[in-house]
Structure 1
Amino acid sequence: MARHTPQPADNASADLADGPDSTLQLQPGPGHVRTTALDALATRALGYLHAGNAVHFRGPAGSGKTKLALDLAQRLGRPVLLLVGDDSFDTKSLVGEASGLKTRRVVDRYITSVMKVETESAPIWLDRALSIACAEGCTLVYDEFNRAPASANNVLLTVLEERILVLPKPRHGEGTLRVHPEFRAIFTSNPHDHAGAHAAQDALLDRMITIDVEGFDRETEVAIAVAHSGLPFVDAGRIVDMVRDFRRSREWTQRPTLRCSIAIARMAGQLGLRVTAEEERFVQLCLDVLASRLKPGPDGVPDPRHRQMLVRLIEHFCGAGGPAPRGTVFGGVAA
């Protein structure tokens, strides 16, 4: 049986190791954290999964959807197949197809003066992620599933409802496949990103329990920044508070996410920078990560006044006087 090659997901919180049959065996990585808020969300979602429901994490880029999906899959303790949605997908990309021929040739020389030759050809079926997961009871993590056309995802309707996989062509002589009782499905999507995304059909969404994920609480964001950078909690907190305040301001065109906090904290740690506005290289690092997200002016580049506001934001949270109070103001917009 052919196996689907797993694809790595962005912002994954676990080490991905190939297991038997090219499924993934998930193990918590060095940047993996568990907080009260994360455990509460995981407990809620696991309850849905154990009851046989599919779970769908929906939220903007950088909100932690893939991290949550992989963490849940690891907690289920089953082999995992990771699939990343793509506009080129069709049903065969999920289920499989007959590809090539297997030829069997029999030569009969029972009678030495007569040679009898029989040739038989049969198509070779190649399984894909969905058929493997359904047959073997794996957990399917379908990341950004709405980047695949709705017509490709239609095959999931009977899988999630009737627990039957309908095959486009007979697989090993069978037109349907009964879904393994341990099969579970976790989906993610980004409704805010319209580039390359498709509208998910209502019939499919109706078969999932959707949990909206806008981001993590402060405690979780700081813990993740510490885990990825090795910075002291106070320094990581300054960076996280600065990025969260910028996020709340809405003075941006590209949402500043937890990835921004991680990038600043990680580089500050690697370069040995002091997390203070008095450290010129640290200020420049923050500007390099955040300034490109500012609202552009008429010429298409960030307004210098907005850039100066960003400098004041860095000074406010990373000033010499210590961490500033949270819930402040950036660009005249209440946080």
Structure 2
Amino acid sequence: SKAEANNVLLSVLEERILDLPAARGIEGYLRVNPNFRAIFTSNPHEYAGVYRAQDALRDRMITIKLAHYDRDTEIAITTAKAGIPQSDVEKVVDIIRALRDHDKNGTIPTVRAAIMIGKVMGLSGSSASSSDEGFVQSCLDILDSETDSVDRKKADIKGRIVGLIKDIC
């Protein structure tokens, strides 16, 4: 949310007071329980629709960056969400993990990309094979859009994806 919407949280976190509108006919604030804690979640700043938190609010937070899921978890999630054979899911997940390991500095694909590829495979009837043109094109379209290309040429990314498909499938 926008920084202005979070201003109410400053007094709650720092002073343990929640300001209330005066029109209610009661005291202008409520005391917050001393044991009150809040958990905030957010996407990285480069995502569309993500607003940078105010410094005053960020000073009262601890940021914990989460790592990607392990391979078995990514396979289980993708299998459950995509509805394709696990043997195909394993290949898709391995392609994405290899692409992620190749460049740790760019915007890297997540399990969401594996789910998207899996769903397209299910709808199109394609299989995780380097000879399946539909599969290869789905991987190129989805993974290319999930990869930051600021300092790299699109052809390099596509070449890397095609190479991974050939190696893994």
Q: Same fold (TM over 0.5)?
A: yes
Matched letter for residue 198 of structure 1: R
2:141 maps to which residue?
288
Aligned pair in 2 of structure 1 residues 211, 281: CA closer, same or farther (>3 Å)? same
1:241 maps to 94
Partner of 2:54: 200
The aligned runs of 1:295-306 (5 Å cut-off) are: 295=149, 302-303=154-155, 305-306=156-157
Trace 1:142-157 onto structure 2 (pairs within 5 A): 148-149=2-3, 151-157=4-10
Q: How many residues align?
A: 166
Is contact 2:108-2:148 (8 Å) kept? no
- The separation in 1 between residues aligned to 2:98 and 2:113, in whole angstroms, is 12
The counterpart of 1:314, out of the listed 161, 165, 169, is 165
Relative to 1, partners in 2 of residues 1:294 and 1:208: Cα closer, same or farther, differing over 3 Å? closer
Please, which of 84, 104, 119 is the counterpart of residue 266 of structure 1? 119
Q: Could you say if the C-alpha distance between residues 172 and 251 of structure 1 is closer, same or farther in structure 2, counting changes exceeding 3 Å?
A: closer
2:108 matches 1:232: no
Give the percent of matched residue pairs that are identical in Structure 1 and Structure 2.
45
SS in 2 for 1:231: coil
The equivalent residue for 1:120 is none
Report the alpha carbon displacement of residue 268 of structure 1 after superposing the two structures with TM: 0.8
1:165 is paired with a residue of what secondary structure? strand
Relative distance call for 1:155 and 1:275 in structure 2 (3 A) is same
Aligned-pair CA distance for 1:207:
3.5
- 5 Å-filtered alignment, 1:1-335, equals 85=1, 148-149=2-3, 151-167=4-20, 169-174=21-26, 175-179=28-32, 185-193=38-46, 197-201=51-55, 203-250=56-103, 253-292=106-145, 293=147, 295=149, 302-303=154-155, 305-318=156-169
TM-score (norm 1): 0.43
CA distance in 2, matches of 1:297, 1:158: 42
Q: Distance in 2 between matches of 1:214 and 1:251?
A: 12
**Counterpart amino acid of residue 98 in structure 2:** D
| Structure that is richer in helix per residue | 2
The two structures have a TM-score, normalised by structure 2, of 0.79
Per the alignment, in what secondary structure is the counterpart of residue 222 of structure 1? helix
Unpaired stretches in structure 1, ≥5 consecutive residues: 1-84, 86-147, 319-335
Q: Which has the higher strand share?
A: 1
Question: Aligned-pair distance for 1:294?
Answer: 6.0
**In 2: Cα distance, 1:307 partner to 1:256 partner:** 14
Instruction: Give the direction of change, closer, same or farther, for the CA distance of 1:181–1:235 in structure 2 (3 Å limit).
Output: farther
Cα distance, 1:185 vs. partner? 3.0
Give the whole-Å Cα distance in 1 for the aligned partners of 2:62 and 2:106. Answer: 30
**Rg (Cα) greater in structure:** 1
Structure 2 counterpart of 1:302, one-letter code = K
| C-alpha distance in 1 between matches for 2:12 and 2:126 | 52
